[in-house]
Amino acid sequence: MGPEDTDCSICLQRFVHPAQLPCGHVFCFLCIKGCAFHRRRCPICRQQFSIRFFDDPKLVLGKFACLLS
Instruction: Provide the pLDDT confidence category of residue 59 given band limits of 50, 70 and 90.
Output: confident
Does 69 reside within a domain? no
Task: Quote the pLDDT of residue 58.
Answer: 80
Quote the percentage of the chain above a pLDDT of 90: 54
The answer to whether the CB of 67 falls within 8 A of the CB of 15 is yes
Q: What is the CATH number of the domain that holds 29?
A: 3.30.40.10
| pTM over 0.85, yes/no | no
For the chain, what is the domain count?
A: 1
Domain span at 35: 3-64
pLDDT tens-digit profile of 5-36?
A: 789 999 999 999 999 999 999 999 999 999 88
Task: Quote the pLDDT of residue 67.
Answer: 52
Does 24 reside within a domain? yes
Does 27 reside within a domain? yes
